[in-house]
Amino acid sequence: MAITVREALRIGPLVRSTVLAGASGLDRVIKTVTVLEAPDSYEWIKGNELALTIGYMYKDSPELLAPLVEELARRGAAALGIKFKRYLPDLPEVVREKADQLGFPVLTIPYDCGWIDILKPLYNYLLDEETKRRYHAQQVNAHFIEILLKNKGLTPLLQSLSEMIMAPVAVFDANHEELARAFPPGWTPRDATPEGPRLTYPIFLLKGKAGYLIVYAAGPITPLTTVTINQALTAIALEFLKEQAIREVERRYENQFLTDLLNGNFDSKEVVLRRAQVFGWNFAWGHIAVLVEIDQLNEYLLEHGNADVYRMRRDQLLELAKKELSRRLPQAIVSDHGNRVLIIALGPKETAPPKLKAQVAEAVTKLVAEVARVLTPFTASAGLSAYYREITDLRCSYAEAKEALAFGRAFKGPGSVTCFEDLGVYRLLCNQSRDELAAFARQYLGPLLECSAKQKASLLETLRTYLQHGGNISAAAEAMYLHRRTLQYRLRKIQRILQVDLADPVNRLNLSIAFMALTLLDSKDA
Tens of pLDDT, residue by residue over 75-89, are 999 999 999 988 888
pLDDT tier, 364 (very low <50, low <70, confident <90, very high otherwise): very high
Say if residue 81 is exposed, middle or buried (CB neighbours under 10 Å; 0-12, 13-18, 19+): buried
State the pLDDT at residue 367. 93
Using the predicted structure, report yes or no on whether residue 311 has a pLDDT greater than 90: no
State the pLDDT at residue 524. 57
CA 361 from centre of chain? 25
Exposure of 307 in the CB half-sphere (CA atoms within 13 A): 0
State the pLDDT at residue 349. 65
| Pairing of β 286-294 and β 208-215 | unpaired
State the pLDDT at residue 354. 86
Name the residue with higher pLDDT: 300 or 334.
334
Residue percentage of the chain with pLDDT more than 90? 20
* For range 232-244, the mean pLDDT: 89
State the pLDDT at residue 217. 73
pLDDT tier, 430 (very low <50, low <70, confident <90, very high otherwise): low
The rounded mean pLDDT for the chain is 85
**Residues 256-289: tens digit of each pLDDT:** 888 888 888 887 888 888 888 888 888 888 899 9
3-state secondary structure at position 21:
strand
Beta-bridge mates of residue 214: 170, 200
pLDDT tier, 209 (very low <50, low <70, confident <90, very high otherwise): confident
Which range has highest mean pLDDT (193-207, 365-379, 511-525)?
365-379
pLDDT tier, 195 (very low <50, low <70, confident <90, very high otherwise): low
State the pLDDT at residue 397. 92
State the pLDDT at residue 523. 64
E strand residue ranges, 364-477: 380-384, 417-419
* For range 359-373, the mean pLDDT: 92
pLDDT tier, 64 (very low <50, low <70, confident <90, very high otherwise): confident
Using the predicted structure, report yes or no on whether residue 306 has a pLDDT greater than 70: no
State the pLDDT at residue 74. 92
* For range 237-264, the mean pLDDT: 86
State the pLDDT at residue 194. 63
Verdict on whether the full-model pTM lies above 0.95 = no
State the pLDDT at residue 196. 67
**Residues 463-517: tens digit of each pLDDT:** 899 888 888 989 988 989 889 899 899 999 989 998 999 888 888 888 888 888 8
Choose among 221, 171, 164: nearest CA to 192.
171
